[in-house]
Amino acid sequence: MMDSLPPMFPGRVGQVITILQVISVFTNYKTETNPATRAQYSKFSQAGSQMKKTASKFTWPSKLAMFVIYAPSLIVSVVLLALGSNPDAYNELSFSIPKPSIAACLCTIHFAKRVAEVLFLHQYSGKTDIGTPCMIAIFYSLITTLVAYAGSMSAPLAPDVFRGNYNATDMIGICAFVVGILGNFYHHYLLAKLRSSSKQNKSAPNDIAAKRYIAPNGGMFNYCAAPHYLFELIGWAGVAIVSDHLNVYLAMAGMTSYLAGRSVAQNDFNRTKFKEKDWPRDRKNLVPFVF
């Protein structure tokens, strides 16, 4: 049975990584559904209320915090791809550099998109404590590194891949990734439009106008609270498929557990903020008609 599974990282280190990933799969959901333990960023940040007097010391503006979350992973992925593509550049290094893979390329595209959205699409208000974005940045950078090494181990980039010579598994994974990244961007765009609309009340003070929420609508927001999470998971499924590596599938499963819990929190937030006519109480969390 083990022979039928995708490869995993070998040795004691590989076993430790796999065990930690399995633990995260089974704990992330509960962590994110609990207000006391969920990651404190975006609308769930409590920095503004709990640390108001010391905000200048212990918080960042939310836009900077979100940039810090995603930018290190983009840098890591670009550096690993660049070094892996030019063996002469790292001959003197004492550790191996992963060869480029489709999975690593998709990971780079994912984080490049997220950084671009932070800089040019999303509008932010409020503050976020410094610790949360730093911890998430480290986590995402580790995931990026894991994907790079896993892809290099099981599915390194073939020399003729850019001439269209993909296998069926690669095509399925790439298609899933494209669907995921486009669907995620579209629903992020809808959210950005809502934030723009919420700030059109010029008579209100800036801090009040910035905190006025409008019920998300359009696209799949009419059926679930977090379709952008759903499409992000579809994108990560594409990365896992092209990597064909057990530890990347576990990374995707951990993301699923995390974002599923986050979607529950998002739906609970919407139910407390909006009236029944604006946000039906039976609207699903993540998957329309199912969950």
Which among 39, 4, 6 has a CA at the least distance from the CA of 242? Answer: 6
**Residue 66: band (very low, low, confident or very high) from pLDDT cuts 50, 70, 90:** very high
Q: Comparing 1-5, 26-30, 111-115, 160-164, which segment has the lowest mean pLDDT?
A: 160-164
| Residue 104 in tokens | 């690593």
Rounded Cα–Cα distance for residues 224 and 247 (Å)? 29
Average pLDDT over residues 195-207: 54
Flag whether pLDDT at 1 surpasses 90: no
Question: Taking the mean position of all CA atoms in its chain, how far away is CA 140?
Answer: 8
Q: Which residues pair with 127 in a beta bridge?
A: 61
- Cβ neighbours of residue 136 closer than 8 Å, sequence gap 6 or more: 39, 41, 69
Rounded Cα–Cα distance for residues 190 and 216 (Å)? 8
Looking at residue 91, its pLDDT comes to: 59
| Residue 147 in tokens | 């994907």
Average pLDDT over residues 163-189: 90
Segment 219-267, tens digit of pLDDT: 999 999 999 999 999 999 999 999 999 999 999 999 999 999 999 999 9
What predicted TM-score, i.e. pTM, was given to this entire model? 0.87
